[in-house]
Each structure stands twice: as structure tokens, then as C-alpha cells.
Structure 1
């Protein structure tokens, strides 16, 4: 899981270890940012690094290399494997939306949960809830979870897109973005940021960085610096605890503390 590598790279002794036998690193289970990917490459030079995708309901083999040998772009999950079918649902274009999959590994249903099964399974198609886009060469990229998406002043915001903007700043090691209720705009993005060792940056500088490199509605309205992001039992960032922390900070006016 990318979060585990983010913590691994903080080991001050990592350069002392012998990784000469390491040939391949495969990441999965959560999205990755370009900043973290580049840090992993720097820590393990010459090692093949891939970012995989799969679901319990539709199997672990969905994407692979391009059949024409085109190199997989950074952050791409790959090109669809020939054994399965893919299509988009709920999208604004034919190249973006919630990924639906049909292949021999798709489950016939959840055990004793017929209503849940009916929500995500139809005619052998599995509705993943993962929003993705497809580029001109057929490579797929993860955007975010449909249920993580929130609306700010009528604009759809996926936390992962804002996190990528924040982590593209050289002082930022890791970021997590959650929605904060707002009377005027419904919800606004707020960010929790872990800085690189020995680095410093102001909240205003980070806001200006996101405004300069992304749409204005995406920029985080509040930023808090943390020594470490909280983990859930799945080794992913615990977004629920960050939502609760955001609410507490807002009530106590503690964002600048």
C-alpha cells in the first residue's frame, strides 16, 4: 500500500540497507501521487515499480501492459487485459466515469446480501465505485472514489486530485484532503499535510501553489500540519478520523495552531 512506502521512506537508515536483490516493487490498494512515486524510485534505483489495480468483487487482474508495447505512463494503472470488458458509468464523457467490469472473476453476488448485490451487479457487470479516466492511448488513470467525491459551489471535487496538487510541492511529503461543511458552498476542501524532513512552508504558500497548478475551486481552504497521518486498520489513511479532526479544529478555531 502506498501509505506503507511513505512511512518506509522516512526511515533515516534506509540508505544503509542492502536492496541489491530487489527487482520489482508493486503498489496497490490505494492511489499514489507522482511525488511519492519519484521518492520510491530514488530510494530503489533500477527497480521496476508498478501500480496495480483490482477488487475483491472482480478479481486482481484488470490492467496490464499496452499490446503495442507503449510505455505505461506514470500513475497509470495500465491497459485493459483482453480477458475482460470495461465501460464507464455516470460520466460526463466516454473517457471518464465510474469503472464497470465484466470478466470471468466477477462475483455472482454478496453472501446473503441480495440488496447490496443488486446495487452493484447487473448482467455480469460490476459497478466498482472507482472514478477513472482513459487517455488517448487507452491507458487508465484513477481519479477517486465516487463516494469520496463532494461538491463545493457546484463543482465536483475528488480528494485525490487535491492531494496530488499538494504533494507536487517539494516541501510536502504526504497530504490528505477531506470535506468540511460550509454554509455558503455546501462543502470546502481542507488539507492535512506532512512535510518533508527539515522542510518548512507556510499555509498561504501551499494555497498559492494549488491555485497556480489547479482549478481555483480545488484549493484547500484550511491547512493543518501533522507529524504523521492517521492510519486505519487497512494500512490506508484514516479519512474518517481526519473528518472528525477537521470539525474539531473548525469549532475551536484551531487551524492556525
Structure 2
């Protein structure tokens, strides 16, 4: 056990206070912020929020790009016994308004770029921020069992966003398990994934507890990401597959940048294709690659190495973590039970939480398991569609397309069909300088997969659209398909 009790207070007071906690690149120039300075600002936020009259359990929204102030607001709120609600700033206004209303946020922190989004919001770094801060020592609240620390709202791609209620204890357990699994003392992590999403937030929490330096980008931009690796000698990088694919497209800059410092590459939140894995290993040959898996509802501690030392297969997410109970149901959907599980969904009496009668969270992700017990993601059960009576997982078709040497990235979606009900179509990003047409890719698919899986239409695009979480925006692709988009390559 680490001894941490409040999720907002993960800085060890006995560790080197002058060590750099953050190299914040949010203002365009590097701000080096020590653990002592970050800790003091978190305390000042906690004191300031309580001085304003907020009470234990009140919700505090944060609508901003990544920055040191974002983390201070987040941690300060939790230290004060308040509930932090980081919000996806890319949500449409109607969705943003819904999230803030649903959460019941008493106060919202915003950054300068979002100044007009929330009337009365406290602009971090501005005069309102300075007026709120109340410098001085603060003893973090000791939470009650299952007391909420965070609401993380889902992307809302399949309906209104759901506020996932996470307790202090649930994610302190996550931090403890991850600390026990790796010696991070010599690491320097780069975070560009948004802090309103589990991918970036969980790494920021782990980094604070491990007392390592985080290089923090306001958001992901491939060239800035590569520059940050080289300039700040980053050892640990993480992201979602589309981020990694965009990074690898910057071939000239990657070749001109010394990335030999990178020792760990972690990819999660969506399946990694064989082609992307090969490209990552070619770009960072000295690094260890981890194909991660986790959910907002249960956190990132799910899989790990095999207890007998058997190497993890390239596309597998690993062997079940010893502290987690896992099983597959009759549809091969993963069900999970662990101390990191959510309390439920906030203020949604219309929703029944996806938890079985014996306490397992139903993830909605379909898996296969090999003879050694290694799990591999097949796809989301929500993404699966039926074409002429055959089950199709988009990720399986994408894997086939991306084995073609001319294909950089692909995304497959279903569209209506009068005969088969639905049929697969694809959007493809070609490799730079590569030449391939629709007929050639269809022929490739037919040669390497069952005929029912081949895309009936293939459109070539310069880049795949991304949501705020940097996952591919399938709703936008569906709109393009309806319009019959066919951009010239």
C-alpha cells in the first residue's frame, strides 16, 4: 500500500520537493514546475474553493486544454472533498450544456480559449484564478468509503454522455497496482491525450504518485509531439492508435529527431492493427511496446504479463491481472470485477448500469483467448454489424486492409443495403507516395478474408476525422458515406 488516501493528493511530501513535476508546453514555451510549486497551487485551489462556500460533494467542472492549472484545479477540488468534473471541450455546445447541467457543477474552471463557453467561469491563469487562490497549507480531506472523486463523461457517440462516478478508493487502487507493476523512477512521461479522458488522466495520476516528470502538451499535434520527445528526452509515451498513426506519418521529422530516449510505448483505448504495431516498432526499435486495455468504468488495470514468463503475443493485451476477476460471457464479451469499478452513472435513472447480478461490469468488448490464456480484442459488440447473416467486426476488416503496403490507416463502417441489411464500406489513408485504387484494395480484401467482409466501397481521404478523445469519429465517417464522398488521393 502507498499510504495515499485522497486521489487529489498523490504527491509524496517526503520525496524531492524541488524535482520538476511538469514541463508545461501549453503556453508555447516550456514552464518547469516543481513538485513543491504544484503541491502548493493544489492546496491554494482547495482553500480557495472552500473559501468561496463550496461544500463537500459539490461538483467542480473543468473545461480546458491540458495545462498545469488544469491539474491544480482537478487535484485541488478533490483535496477539498469536492468532485472534479473534467469536460470534453470538443463537445458541441448543446452537449456541453447538458454535461454541466447533468453534473450539477457549482463552478467551472475554463481556459482563455473557452472564455465565452461558460458565463461566469473562472479563467485559469487570469485575474479570476489569482483571486480564487488562497495560498497556505491544507490537509486533504480523508474520503468516506466510495465517496466520489471524479465524474468522467463518456464521449456520447451512441447517445447522451454518461457521467461515470469514480471514487477516491477506486483509483487509488489503480495507482497502487500500477506502481507495484513497474519501477518508474527514471522515467519521463509525455502526455498529449486529453486529461478529461482516462488515457491521459490515469498516466498523470500515476506519474505524480511515482514522483516523475511529465512533459505536458495542451493537446495532440504530431509535430509538436515529436519535438517534445527529442527536446525533453521523453522515455515513456502513450496514446490511442490514431494518435500513433498520425505521429508515424511525420517520417522526415521522426528521422531527423533523436528518439532513442523512448523506452516505453503504450497504446490503448482501441485495438492496434498489425501494420501500426510494425510501424511503431520500426520507429522506436529500442522501446518496449504495451498494447493496453481499460475502460472508464473500471480503469486501466486489467491485463499484464503471463505469470510463467511466456511472451505476450504481438496484438494481445496480455494475461489477466492477478488482482482482477475476468470472464467471457456466452457472446465472448469481457466481464470484469475489481476494486477500480465505478459507483455507477450520475443522475441517469433511465440507465441500468451494465453490471451483472454477481457484480461484474459488462465491458461491451468482444475478446478471443488463446491456449496460454492471453486475451486479444476482437471489437466492440456495439460496432459489430450483420451483413447477409454474417457477423462483421470493423477491426477485423481494417486489419486486412492495413496489410496492403499502400495503406497507412483505415476505418470501416456499415451502411444500409437493401439486400443484405448492411454492408461494409471503408475510408483509407494511403502511405505517402503510394499508389493504389479502390479496385486493387477490394481485390486484396477478397484474397485475404471471406468475401462477405470485403468493403463494397472504399473512399480515399487525407486523414481520418478524430473525436475529442482522439479516437476515430465514426459518426463523421457515416455522414461522409451518406454524402458519397470520394476525395481524390
TM-score band (shorter)? over 0.9
Q: Which residue of 2 aligns with 1:45?
A: 285
What does residue 104 of structure 1 align with?
Answer: 339
Number of aligned residue pairs: give it. Answer: 248
Could you say which residue in structure 2 is the equivalent of 1:230?
465
* Stretches of structure 2 lacking an aligned partner (at least 5 in a row): 1-239
Q: Cα distance, 1:117 vs. partner?
A: 3.8
1:175 — aligned with what?
A: 410
Gaps of 5+ in 1: 92-96
Higher helix fraction (1 or 2): 2
How does 1:17-96 map onto structure 2 within 5 Å? 17-91=257-331
Alpha-carbon offset, residue 121 of structure 1: 4.6
C-alpha distance in structure 2 between counterparts of 1:245 and 1:182, whole Å? 16
Contact 1:31 1:142 in 2 (8 A): yes
Task: Tell me if the contact between 1:192 and 1:223 (Cα under 8 Å) persists in the aligned partners.
Answer: yes
| Residue of structure 2 in register with 1:208 after alignment | 443
Distance in 1, Cα, partners of 2:482 & 2:357: 38
The counterpart of 1:134, out of the listed 345, 369, 385, is: 369
C-alpha distance in 2, partners of 1:244/1:158? Answer: 20
Measured in 2, the distance between the counterparts of 1:173 and 1:184 equals 32
Deviation of 1:112 (Å): 2.7
Query: Per-residue displacement from partner, 1:39-83 (whole Å, max 9, x unpaired)?
Result: 111111111111111112112110000111110001100000111
Richer in strand (by share): 1
Task: Tell me the secondary structure at the aligned position of residue 116 of structure 1.
Answer: coil
Distance 1:237 1:118, change over 3 A: closer
Tell me how far 1:182 sits from its aligned partner.
0.2
Q: In structure 2, the residue corresponding to 1:77 is in which secondary structure?
A: coil
- Given that 1:109 and 1:121 are in contact with CA atoms closer than 8 Å, whether structure 2 keeps it comes out as no
The residue correspondences of 1:143-182 to structure 2 (distance < 5 A) are 143-182=378-417
Question: Quick one: structure 1 residues 102 and 202, their matched pair in 2 at CA, closer, same or farther if it must change by over 3 Å?
Answer: same
Q: Counterpart of 2:378 in 1: which secondary structure?
A: strand
Deviations 1:201-224 (A, max 9, x none): 121111111111111110000001
Could you give the per-residue CA deviations for residues 84-128 of structure 1, whole angstroms, max 9, x where no partner exists?
A: 11111242xxxxx11100112122322233442444453211000
Question: In the alignment, is the contact (CA less than 8 A) between 2:461 and 2:487 conserved in 1?
Answer: no
The residue correspondences of 1:1-20 to structure 2 (distance < 5 A) are 1-11=240-250, 12-20=252-260
SS at match of 1:223: strand
Which whole-Å CA distance do the structure 1 matches of 2:357 and 2:344 have between them? 10
Question: Deviations for 1:211-257, whole angstroms, at most 9, x for unmatched residues?
Answer: 111111100000011111111111011110001111110xxxx6596
**Structure 1 residues 183-192 or 19-28, which shifts more?**
19-28
Mapped partners of 2:314, 2:260: distance in 1? 24
CA distance in 1, matches of 2:423, 2:385: 8
Instruction: Normalising by structure 1, report the TM-score.
Output: 0.92
The CA distance in 1 between the partners of 2:438 and 2:414, in whole Å, is: 17
Mapped pair 1:184 → 2:441: no
Aligned twin of 1:94? none
Q: Does the 8 A contact of 1:222 with 1:255 survive in 2?
A: no
SS where residue 344 of structure 2 aligns?
coil
